Amino acid sequence: MGGWGSGRYGGRPTADASLRIDLAWMLRTGRAKEGAHQRGALNWTCGGEPSGSIRYDAIMHEPGGERLELSYARGSGEDREQVRQTIRLCHTRPNYGGKRWWMICPYRHIRVGKLYLPPGGDRFASRHAWRLGYQCQRDSARDRPFERLSRLQKKLGCDPGWEAGLYRPKGMWNRTFERHLERYWELDEQCALEMMAVMGRLGR
């Protein structure tokens, strides 16, 4: 299990920026099926552009030997590697009945519902194995009001930025805009409080 090298941004990668295999989703959408051998591909996009693809065999017709066989390429040029990775599957029986299927992390050997391949990583593994966080955890608490304010402004087609204002888009009901405006002033006040705290620290 290698590192991620130049693929990182702002420290260690996040789960949000990683390729993800979600077994429950695969079962729900028919990409895997208990008692059957399903074969197919998983594709990921980012911003509408392809960001990754793997082939898989979901082998669930062999009692005690259920598994995912993954096949994918990583790297480029002379460093290009064809990877084959086997992920063991198991199930538990919840109190409410039925079965719940899990993947076994090949590095931590724990039951997980999702596996991740972060930018620059070499194998799919659990979030714990890669020590992945979530982007929202990376954002400084004092930055969040400004981020939320900017998202609200962009949603209404306004220029983003503190004190840039909020304007009613053409065709929007006044009642709807008033609700957005109320939220805007809440966030504006939070931003002002954070700025005052920063200035206070600088003053000291």
3-state SS string over the chain?
CCCCHHHCCCCCCEHHHCEEEEHHHHHHCCCCCCCCEEEEEEEEEECCEEEEEEEEEEECCCCCCCEEEEEEEECCHHHCEEEEEEEEEEEECCCCCCCEEEEECCCCCCEECEEEECCCCCCCECHHHHCCECHHHHCCHHHHHHHHHHHHHHHCCCCCCCCCCCCCCCCCCHHHHHHHHHHHHHHHHHHHHHHHHHHHHHHC
Can you give the pLDDT at residue 45? 79
Which residues of the chain are under the pLDDT cut of 50?
A: 3-10
- pLDDT at position 145 is 84
Residues 83-134: tens digit of each pLDDT: 999 999 999 988 777 889 999 999 999 999 899 988 888 899 988 888 876 5
Q: Is the pTM of this model over 0.75?
A: no
